[in-house]
Structure 1
Amino acid sequence: PKEGADVGFYCLWIFISAAYLRDQIRELEPLRARLVVVSEQCEKRILGLREEERVEIRALKQERQHRQKVIENMRETQSSLQTQVQCLPTRFNLAAQYLMYREECDARKLLIANISSMSYGPDEEPEEEQEVEIEDPVKEKLALKVCREDLTKAQVELNRLHAEYGDVVPRRDWETLDHTHKENLLKVQFSEMFDSTTARDSLQGELEGFKEASTPRPEWEQCADVLGGSERWADLSQGQSSQRRLEILLAELGGKNSEFFTGLGTSDDVPIYLRYEGQLKNHRLKKNAVVRILKEVWKEKVMEDGRRMLNDVNLYRSQFAQVIYLFHCCLKSVNRFERITRGIVFFIHREVTVADLRAAFKNIDPSLDAITLDWVLTMAFQIHQGELEQHTTQMDTELALQHLLAIDVTRAGPRQPYPIMI
């Protein structure tokens, strides 16, 4: 029937699409391998950048520690200078000591004058004439008192000035000290920068020398495309040194130019089409010859699959005809038994539903698949396959039998879809 042919064509289209998608997947497999290689290269570059950042961070940390040490040394120098300044005598202490000295000196002079005046009587004359006339002691006391008052005022003024301007540094000294500090700071920074630049230049020179003297590491991942894929190359080179990898690569490349290949044997772990014992001649096929051979192999495979599918279809048709014949025989037996029992079965089972007919087919042949059974029911009730579950109308058994007999005579029906190997 037409509906069965449409279903078969739809199934065929689905399998062709699946085969096309499989081809697309096989074509995209090299891109996937290339993506893996690119991702590994990106990871290596990221690791290299991280290592460079670690080196720079380590250098900055060392520079920071060096500057902290310089700052600590300057702080220690400043604290020692402050301690020395504190140990020096202040101006107030010097003024007090000088005042005490003046008082003691004046008292000593007065005491000497009193002793001299008391040692001579009123009528006595000194043995030697005094060249200088001695002043009056009262005037000296008054002068001393006035001097002491002036000294007290000067001391008060000195204390006031010391209290107001004791912590003030002269502007000239401050400018000199600030200029000296800036020069020292610039010298320290310049020396640090010069040392860093010198170290960097030396390291850069050593690096350039190493680059010129040493041989760069080869990209071993590129050998995977030549030696049969990344998996085989990983199995050959895993855990090997560079020298050993070079020997393996030369051995593999030299094997391609040999006259004979050694067979892999006939054990179960070897694929069927690669089982061979002994020496196999190397024909050195080119790309055009390999393409031609592959096309011939696929052509033969398609023809073989077509013949196999045709045999399966013929077998399916023969089995389906046998099922219809068995069902026809069962219906004849039921009809005969109905006539013998005077029509009892005829009146009870004269009309059947989809569920009754499905159960009868399963009892007759339990090996029937669901697709064939649904198609037989649609042919018997003359409905679409999607309406089987909702169809509840009963049909005469003779009419359903006639429909099935007509199908058996014309031998028409949908073909069972089989996977097509492309």
Structure 2
Amino acid sequence: MASQQPWCCSFSSASRSQPGSSEVTTDNFFLPEAKSTQKRKLSQKRKTLSFQFSTDGHLSPWPTYTSGQTILQNRKPCSDAYQKRAGSWQQQPFGTGKPRYLEQLENYLRKELLLLDLGTDSNQELRLQPYREIFEFFIEDFKTYKPLLSSIKNAYEVMLAHQREKIRALEPLKAKLVTVNEDCNERILAMRAEEKYEISVLKKEKMNLLKLIDKKNEEKISLQSEVTKLRKNLAEEYLHYLTERDARKILIADLNELRYQREDMSLAQSPGVWGEDPVKLTLALKTARQDLTRTQMELNTMKANFGDVVPRRDFEMQEKTNRDLQEQLDSLRADYEEVRKEHELLLQLHVSTLKERDQFFSELQEIQRTSTPRPDWSKCKDVVAGGLERWQMLAEGKNSDQLVDVLLEEIGEGLLREKDFFPALGYGEAIPTFLQYEGLVENKKPTKKEVINLLKDAWKERLAEEQKEKFPDFFFNFLEHRFGPSDAIAWAYTIFENIKLFRSSEVMSQFYAVLMGKWSESVYVNQKETIAQLLKDMTNVDTQNEGLLTMEQFSTILKNTFPLKKEEQIQELMEAGGWHPKSSDADLLNYRSLFMEDEEGQSEPFVQKLWEQYMNEKDNYLHDLKKELGLELHDEVNLSKLRRALMNTDSSLDKQTVNTYMSQAFQLPVSELPEEGDEMEAGIVVGLQTALERLQVIDIRRMGPREPEPAS
């Protein structure tokens, strides 16, 4: 009877899930006795329901309305024939209600769910039990689909068992997580309590210290008042003792006078005086009167001479005051003399400034009269690809000369991309070896980034192995190895035209200078080694490997790495690295970012400032050398004079370095240079300008500190 069911009914029945199959459920997977008991119960329920639900011993064929219809082979439920059959069924006079078997199954499911009281939070396994039973009834009744439905049920049961096992395995972890969470909360609370206690203790200590400070301040104020009072008492006692000393001297003088008078009276009242000779007494009286007259005259003279004399104490005080005033007068005279000299210098400076102002004003008027107006660089936005936004990015921080180079590069780049071929330069002696070719050469039209990456690869290969061949020959061999012999000349012309055009790119301009012989390779190599050594020194100081240094450490490393640089140059490097005058020595600096490069190979301002200082130092060194020679550029210099000038300019040069410089200036091998003091030195001459240009090519620099100039 199940095999005669329509396809739609079978499919809808198979899409439901119910228990009761021969597969072991999750609950009785490990319990065989529970399995057999449950199967007996389901069998009894199935027999009861089959007897109750079925009518006339078979299932209702709803919605086919016919009991004997079977599914046609090779027909789909959505096909036209099937729809016609469905239309014909709908025309049958049977009712359209649900089959009794379906209604009774739904009623049974509803009752079971009500018994489980779905309104409460019941177990999910119990809620699935009625569905299992209904699905088991379908499996048992539909014999044809029993294997398929059983496999579906088994797959779901196995998955449920697997998920249940995973949940059981995670239960201890959940409990452990709860325990750890509680422990962490207890630790946090304990730490907070401890911190709160420490804060309270520190607050109490702070209050005690504040009270102690107030107490000390009060003691200090009281001691100051006592010192002031004691000083006042000391001054009063000093005046009192001075007065007592003067009074004592006066009393001593009065006592002496009284003693002398008493002696005179005693002599006058003595009994032997009345017995003297009157003539003798007359002579004595006459002599006494003469002495009295002389003494009176002397007293008058003394009064006349010393009548205005002040006491010694006042004299000493006045003398001390006079010395202080004299010292102040001398100091003021010295200050006045210094100010007078400064005033004279300022007057002279003012006069010279007025002359310079008048000169500059006249030059300004002349420049305004003859100069052209400044160009409006915003007009270039219509010429440059990318419009105003790209032009602003290119023009940021550049002067007029640099803007002209940028504009020429942009225009030249457009013209360069329009060319499909380059005319070859031939095989002349003045043509570099890597450009010697006749005919037309294809323009490979690489991007600027591709050219830069190619040049970087060439430098890596050049520095990786010690190459003895010249740099132009190496460059052409590199292109042959990279692109093959057939395309090497095309790439050589393409790269040459690009690096000749893009002078603002560091990588291209440096490679062009070395390739064309304007610089030697040692200039580029030594600069890279200097930067690598500087980065290594900073990394050694960074013991924590955090990539950070303090400004004090940064300054110390720069001074140790470049001992010959002036303080102004060190400060310029620090400012280029991110230091500001308002920054403190404890501020941190990300030193690794100073040595990074962008996509086009442009270095950071710190590395650019290093290169700029190196070129300025080289120019200053050659300028000092020319000054030491005391010659004009059109004059000639011999070998001995140039050697002596090099040693005088930089006394730290060793013999090997001097010979290297001399070999470059006179274009002679070091082995062919005559020894110092040889007569042949005077016969080897070269133009001074030529010698300086040749020395400009190599890595020439000062080896020792500049000797101080003699004081004028």
TM-score (norm 1): 0.27
Normalising by structure 2, report the TM-score.
0.17
Larger Rg: 1
Higher relative contact order (CA 8 A, sep 6+): 1
Structure with a larger share of its residues in helix: 1
